[in-house]
Amino acid sequence: MATHRERPPSEILPSQWVGSHDLGGDISSFGSINRSTHEYQHWEIQVHAALSLLDSANLITDDQLRKGIESMQPDAYNSASYYGRWAVSAVSHLVVDTSLLPHAILEKHLGVPAATEEQFFSPGDHVLVRAENTRVRWRKPHIRTPGYIFGVEGIVSRFVGEFHDPMLAGFGQSVLQPLYRVRFVQKKIWPEYSGNDVDSLEVDIYQAWLEPAGEPARESAGESAGESAGASPSSPLPPPSYLDEEPMLWSGQWIKVHPTRTSIELKAKELEPEPTRFQPLAEALVASCLEVGLFDASSLSKKVEELGSAFGESAAGIGREIVARAWMDPTFKRLLLDDARSALVQVGLDTAYQFSSRAVDSTCKMSGSATSTAAKAKAKAKAKTTTTLLVIEQTPEVHNLVVCTLCSCWPSKLLGNPPPWYKSAAYRARAVREPRSVLNEFGIKLEKGIEVRVHDSTADLRYLVLPRRPPGTEELGMKELAALVTRDSMIGTGVL
């Protein structure tokens, strides 16, 4: 049976795999669930803010964003961060599907030199072949320059003429590029080559892949390896406690030199995390959207500030309030379980959640005013994609657990944005196949007689788990009860 990752027979799933995002039950993604705190970087929050603004302007929908992510090549999907996938999908939609974002503007912000017909090189010039620049690749490229000569120096043997660049022609773009024959010494390409020193190889290469070969680095006169820039050859080594901490100057004795602002900034830059694979693309996406006016800088700043409080345990305040109210008011609890929309409308919390135009009760039967065929068609034409909340109760007999195996769906309006572990491959793969093991990892050990009911949130339902009220809390008020509720308990990975 063919599978997406060439799994051995013992790992083959009983169903058909539909893409890299389809992680439910995927044994190759099993592993411990990393629940360490992740502080999102500025570019990640900017991407989230940008997509929120584009969605509000009806320039992209959740389904279009998901489609782009699901279309990613397995290697790209697996190596991309969560928001890196968002960036890849958004670029594909805005540049290819809708042409809302000109390709040239995106490439400008990626630092890609503009294509030109001007001839830069002549026979005899020493050139270096550029390496494939993965930071600008947001789709599988059409490359006609063989990878074995990336980074190798050669000599232009002939200018052939101008031809349509095949990398762009493959995507329907017509740009003329100078084409050269470049000669390489075989031993510079293959270190183990056993032929003659003069044996060569010639390759056809377009100008965009070439750059002038730089001069070899030379040591400064009078400076040898091991000499530091700030010490004379006769100066002693600085005290061990000073090494790699602060600049030192020898003047009969070692003196600490107060670091300059430039050196402080360079040190801070060294401590920054390395950019992830698609971070440059994400940053270029935001800059390009600003340049063409898909949204403005003021709106982006406001949305970034708004999202800053939407991450972490503290963002689940509305969910806590709903749970506490259900504990205190049996009538509200019953309505919440039967028809969450009506329950939240009753207490003025409906604006905190985006509902569909028709409510769904606990039996998943549709209700609402759109009863006639004509009314339904009219509502469908006007409606924007929305989601519906379903509240599920923890009982002595059933423990509920929520997951989204295809992406990261969860009730963000009530709980804030999902934590990294909820989006991780390990959680998405394991929760549907070995839920008890997952719960054990979260410190929950259930007796065998208790049913574990997993809810895979793959469509337009969002699930909120109503945890069991802790004993001995009968005298507590709403505020005190809400303080007891944890975000994990409202998704099933925690108990109170």
**Which pLDDT score, from 0 to 100, does residue 445 have?**
94
- Cross-strand pairs, 359: 367
List the alpha helices (DSSP H) in 97-161.
Answer: 103-110
* Residue-level pLDDT at 184: 95
Residue 463 has a pLDDT of: 94
Q: How far is the C-alpha of 350 from the C-alpha of 21, rounded, in Å? A: 32
Candidate list 81, 404, 424, 457, residue with the active-site label: 404
Position 219 scores a pLDDT of 34
Place of tokens 């700043």: 301
Known active-site residue 407: yes
Q: Which of 20, 92, 407, 457 is catalytic?
A: 407
Domain limits of the chain?
37-109+275-308, 126-212, 246-271, 313-490
The whole-number pLDDT of residue 93 equals 94
The CATH number assigned to the domain with range 126-212 reads: 2.30.30.50
Q: pLDDT tens per residue, the chain (496 residues)? A: 333 444 444 454 545 556 777 778 878 778 888 888 777 888 999 999 999 999 999 999 988 999 999 888 888 888 888 999 999 999 999 998 999 999 889 988 887 766 677 899 999 999 999 876 555 555 555 677 888 988 899 999 999 999 887 766 655 566 788 999 999 999 999 989 999 999 999 999 988 888 899 744 333 333 333 344 444 445 555 555 544 445 555 566 655 555 556 655 565 555 556 667 889 899 999 999 999 999 999 999 999 988 877 777 788 889 999 999 999 999 999 999 999 988 988 888 766 554 444 444 444 443 344 444 544 444 444 444 467 889 999 999 999 999 999 888 888 888 988 988 999 999 999 999 999 999 999 999 998 899 999 999 987 789 999 999 999 999 999 999 999 999 999 999 999 9
Which of the following is catalytic: 289, 409, 424, 457? 409
Q: Which pLDDT does position 160 carry in this prediction? A: 94
User: CB count, 10 Å around CB of 55?
Assistant: 16
Q: Which CATH architecture has domain 313-490?
A: Alpha-Beta Complex (3.90)
Q: What is the CATH number of domain 37-109+275-308?
A: 1.10.472
pLDDT at 168: 63
Number of separate helices (H) and strands (E) present in the chain: 19, 13
Q: What is the C-alpha to C-alpha distance for residues 491 and 495, in angstroms, rounded to an integer?
A: 10
Q: Give the pair of three-digit tokens for residue 441.
A: 């990892």
Backbone angles phi, psi at 4, to 5 degrees: -75, -20
Q: What is the 3-state secondary structure (H, E, C) of 326-345?
A: HHHCHHHHHHHHHCHHHHHH
According to the model, what pLDDT value does residue 407 have?
A: 85
Count CB atoms within 10 A of the CB of residue 218. Answer: 6
Q: What is the pLDDT of residue 365?
A: 40
Domains 126-212 and 313-490 belong to one CATH topology: no
**Has 364 been annotated as catalytic?**
no
- pLDDT for 86 equals 93
Whole-number Å distance between alpha carbons of 367 and 487: 30
Residue of 408, 424, 457, 489 marked active site: 408
- Among candidates 201, 210, 115, 105, which has minimal Cα distance to 163? 115
| H-assigned helices in 11-57 | 42-56
